[in-house]
Amino acid sequence: MRLFDRYIARQILVGTLYAIMVLSLVLVMGNLFKEVRPLLVEQNAPPAVVFRFILNVVPYSLMFTIPWGFLCAVLLVFGRLSNDNEVTAFRVAGISLMRLALPVFVIAIALSGICMWINVNVVPLAKASLTEMLIEQVKRNPRSLLNPGLVQSRFKNQKVFVEKREGDSLRGFHLYQVSNGENGEPVRSEAYVHAGKVSLVVDEDKKQLRLKLLDTFIETKEKDGTSEFAFAQEAEPWLFDFGSIQNNRVRSSAMTNTEIRRYLAENPDLESNKRIKFGTEITKRYTFSLACLSFACVAVPLGMNSRRKDTSSGLILSLLIGMLYFLLTMMAEDFDSDAAATVGLWAPNVLCGLLGLYLFRRARFK
């Protein structure tokens, strides 16, 4: 490795690490502030749980911060090199622009490998661990199952909504009994229960929530579509078994590639849109991992151009390209066919590559 290779590579690596730390801190703190009140105040979670929450969020944030940090570093480094006429000096010495950018592409390939490892192996496990952590915390503080203002769907075939809590009493209690289809999603409502006031008792031994309903209205629906209504001043204790709560929702983002393939093989009758979504998740992990390499193609010439004109147009254009890259990737997840989703996921990388070739060609003659 020549001296100028080490010179450029060192600046790119330092700038990338600094940008990753800053961007990751912003994303992690944003997620933490969103969840810290439910964890600390409503569920009385110990600091160890909050620390575990942060550890699980960090890998997910790295999916975005590594490419963005690398993009910012390349823009800043080559913008400064161009502004100080160092790029001109290198080219006068007989070093082509592609040769000058070689350290950038080497680092981009290395970062893409790290991103692929994180996206394929680390992120799914972190998301699954985060879900299990929240379920464990609910079991530790079962009263959080009936927090006011939130629709709770952790109970099998039941959805619960509470308007207000007063100590161990609830005001405005709503319960919907639903029947589920073959894929576990609600199909139709079978019963509705409303209580003006509910007294709440936690039975730790039996792992149950005991609810005594007052001023109760009950509506049940028969198979023929007719409804029956009942009113009661006081209803028998309603039991919720919180000891058997588990995550019944199958999410592709919380599954490894092997688990996704096994799930698809074991469920041949899965709806086509869900099958496409699960297959798309695997493709997205690979295409998303190449963001660093794609950004390297456009960041070098645009970084030089932004300083050469002494304007921020190149930087703004690069940020727009980065935003468009992630936006196109997310939009491709909603396509209704495997072919369209695959093309949509690979399109941002291909477009960045083609745009990079065009920009490098223009930069050679400047």
Same domain, 118 and 189: no
Better-scored residue on pLDDT, 222 or 352: 352
309 has a pLDDT exceeding 50 = no
Same domain, 205 and 288: no
Cα–Cα distances (Å) from 86 to 80, 83, 173, in that order, read 8, 8, 70
Better-scored residue on pLDDT, 326 or 142: 326
Cα–Cα distance, 120 to 114 (Å, whole number): 10
Q: What is the pLDDT of residue 253?
A: 80
Interhelix angle 272-289/257-266, nearest 10 degrees: 160
Q: What is the pLDDT of residue 292?
A: 92
Better-scored residue on pLDDT, 265 or 309: 265
Same domain, 83 and 53: yes
Least confident stretch, 17-26, 27-36, 58-67, 244-253: 244-253
Task: Tell me the whole-structure pTM to 2 decimals.
Answer: 0.70
35 has a pLDDT exceeding 70 = no
Cα–Cα distance, 74 to 82 (Å, whole number): 12
Cα–Cα distance, 250 to 243 (Å, whole number): 20
Residue 148 lies in a domain: no
User: 184 falls in which pLDDT band (50, 70, 90)?
Assistant: very low
Domains held by the chain: number: 2
Same domain, 262 and 322: yes
> What Rg do the C-alpha atoms of the chain give, in angstroms?
27
User: 204 falls in which pLDDT band (50, 70, 90)?
Assistant: low
The range of the structural domain enclosing residue 61 comes to 3-139+253-364
Same domain, 235 and 260: no
- Tell me the pLDDT of the chain averaged across its residues: 78
160 has a pLDDT exceeding 90 = no
Q: What is the pLDDT of residue 84?
A: 80
189: number of Cβ within 10 Å: 14
Cα–Cα distance, 226 to 188 (Å, whole number): 13
Percent of the chain with pLDDT over 90: 11
Residue 113 lies in a domain: yes
Residues 6+ apart with CB under 8 A from 146: 152, 160, 162, 165, 170, 200, 209
Greatest mean pLDDT among 44-53, 100-109, 254-263, 331-340 lies in 100-109
φ/ψ region of 74 (left if φ > 0, alpha if ψ in -120 to 50, else beta) reads: alpha
Residue 248 lies in a domain: no
Same domain, 86 and 43: yes
Residue 149 lies in a domain: no
315 has a pLDDT exceeding 70 = no
Q: What is the pLDDT of residue 280?
A: 87
Least confident stretch, 161-170, 268-277, 279-288: 161-170
User: 183 falls in which pLDDT band (50, 70, 90)?
Assistant: very low
C-alpha closest to that of 291 among 6, 65, 43: 65
